Amino acid sequence: MKIFISIFLLMLALPLSALTFYKQTRVIAPEVYGITCIDNFLCLEDIETKDEARVLYEHALKLTEEKLSKIQNKPVVVFCSTKQCSNRFGLNKASAFNMGTFGIIISHKGWEKHMVSHEFIHYWQSSVNGNVKMLFLSNPEWLIEGMAYSMSEDPRLVLSEPYQGYRVAFNKWFIDSNQKNIYLAFKNESYK
């Protein structure tokens, strides 16, 4: 009986520890952390920003589906409006973060079309390959980040390295391989 209770307590402690120490996991239950979800997908720190957030969400969804393929399960996106909210969700320096197929967090400084789209592309990648493969198995970094920077239509002509190199490598791969079905091409390349 003691073993059963120990296992039960451990199973209970692991998710709570993740929410405490790995703050990005809070996207799973944003309402617990002061966020208002106005529907199943759009969650906001400041309800007054719902129109702007919805425009960014819809733009990113449309761009991702036009360039890649349809997203079967739309992502939950948390939009933070203040630095305090961004820090609460673990985005101390980052402008945005994708938590696999669990959701996306946009910091107070990430409210740009290309930044939201970048995270939607990472969400699409996780949807295609699965969270475990994206997190633990080696995916070519040039493919993962290069695709996100290129397909999100990031307006910066030159990115800091290694991201500029990743974008160049992805663009070359995409053109050289004459990819018509990006879904299959991505899946095949990421399994190499």
Model confidence pLDDT, tens digit, residues 22-74: 467 778 878 888 899 999 999 999 999 999 999 999 999 999 999 988 998 99
Most confident of the following: 48-57, 142-151, 177-186: 48-57
Q: Which letter does DSSP use for residue 45 in this model?
A: S
CA distance 171 to 130: 23
Residue type, 46: D
**Contact of 66 with 20, CB cutoff 8 Å:** no
Check residue 152 and give its pLDDT. Answer: 96
Helix (H, G, I), strand (E, B) or coil at 68: coil
Q: What is the pTM of this model?
A: 0.84
CA distance 101 to 130: 8
